Chains A and B, each alone.
Chain A
């Protein structure tokens, strides 16, 4: 099993450009999450999904959109990138989303917006 994979690993954008980050998991997990990690801020939840076709906002959703058309994939979109979105983005999944479930994280995507 590959676990949780993220594509791409690195990306540099100019302000105003758009892009999509792809997260894929092969563990048949129901719940998937997108986080961003910034210095001194820890991991902050952007959006999450409790199942195929569903999405919900997390702590810092502004400027991002998500889609979960297939159970194994969770896409994070930036329609018009801003320098404030420079960050490391992590995707995670859990079997059922219960609080006691362990989250499995991908390796991260480092995004720089110039």
Chain B
């Protein structure tokens, strides 16, 4: 049972435009969410996080929005750059474990 879902396996965006990556979750006990970025042949690296007491967190070009009633979060990248091309995972911790989504592969076209 997938507790964290990313329903879009891939996304292509023109350089300079906005990229929006979506993530849904089913467990209402989740109170913290993270986004990780992964390049080919490398491990994931932390990108940005958000606590459930907030509905938005911003870090430079990256903003994460949380809609608790819809159990939905999204990552916005503005403006998108070719170096942002990677696989993005959303994740949620509970207890000692982390649950990851299946990932969205973002391609930013120059």
Contact = CB atoms under 8 A, between A and B. Distances in A.
Contacts of B43: 4, 90, 92, 105-108
B89 A42 contact: yes
Interface residues of A, number: 27
Interface stretch (B60-68, B73-81, B92-100): B92-100
Contacts of B16: none
B31 A43 contact: no
A56 interface: yes
Residue of A44, A99, A103 contacting most chain B CB atoms (<10 Å): A99
**In the complex, which range does the number of interface residues on chain B fall in?**
20 to 34
Contacts of B6: 42
A99 B94 contact: yes
Given A48-B96, A108-B41, A40 B32 contact: no
B97 A40 contact: no
A48 to B, nearest CB: 6
A59 B42 contact: no
B98 A103 contact: yes
Nearest to A4: B43
B49 A103 contact: no
Contacts of B4: 42
Interface string A70-114: 000000000000000000001010000101101111111000000
Contacts of B34: 102-103
13 contacts: A33-B98, A42-B100, A43-B44, A44-B100, A90-B44, A99-B31, A100-B49, A102-B46, A103-B36, A106-B43, A107-B41, A107-B42, A108-B42
Interface of B: 2, 4, 6, 9, 31-32, 34, 36, 41-46, 49, 51, 89, 91, 93-94, 96-98, 100-103
Interface of A: 4, 31, 33, 35, 40-45, 48, 50, 56, 58-59, 90, 92, 97, 99-100, 102-108
